[in-house]
Amino acid sequence: MREKTLKFLGLMRRANALQSGENNAGEAVRGGKGKLLLLASDASPNARKRAEGYTGGRSCLLLELPFTKEELGGALGQGDCSMAAVTDLGFANALVKRLTELDAARYGETAEEVARRFSKAERRKSETAKERNKWNGKRRTNV
């Protein structure tokens, strides 16, 4: 299952749904595009502090992976990588489900939160503009 999860991370990178490296991941999170910030299990304390700073006060979740920097970098097709940001909510939901299969106690709470955000986003996409305007109290005015 670990190999499938690592291959899935590589698929996410090829689909441009993942920004790898500290600079790119931080930029994605600060820009509001990062939905889930991934941190390698053996990341340095400095990288952990930086990751917490990136996610502090933002709607991005921080998640420590069960993979080392070498494993994560190998899956993403580069050298050692301690941090990556998932920019697509659907991929984030699928990744967290896979991680929950590996360790339900560790990733269960995060999986519930990501699933809640994903269902909310899907519901918003399915609403028509007229329905959204009802929620916001807007009305159409004829000019």
- Is pLDDT of 130 > 70? no
Is 13 within a domain?
yes
> Range of 64's domain?
2-136
Is 142 within a domain?
no
Q: CB-based burial of residue 1 (10 Å sphere; 0-12 exposed, 13-18 middle, 19+ buried)?
A: exposed
Is 110 within a domain?
yes
Is 17 within a domain?
yes
Q: What are phi and psi of 121, to 5 degrees?
A: -65, -40
Is 9 within a domain?
yes
State residue 97's pLDDT score: 93
Is 123 within a domain?
yes
State residue 39's pLDDT score: 94
d(CA 31, CA 35): 11
Closest CA to 86 of 2, 25, 1: 25
Considering the entire predicted model, what is its pTM?
0.83
State residue 1's pLDDT score: 84
The CATH number of the domain where 48 resides is what?
Answer: 3.30.1330.30
* Mean pLDDT in residue range 9-36: 93
How many domains are contained in the chain? 1
Is 143 within a domain?
no
Is 122 within a domain?
yes
Closest CA to 41 of 10, 90, 76, 83: 83
Q: Pull the structure tokens for residue 126.
A: 């399915």
State residue 124's pLDDT score: 84
**pLDDT per residue as tens digits for the range 102-118:** 888 999 999 999 999 99
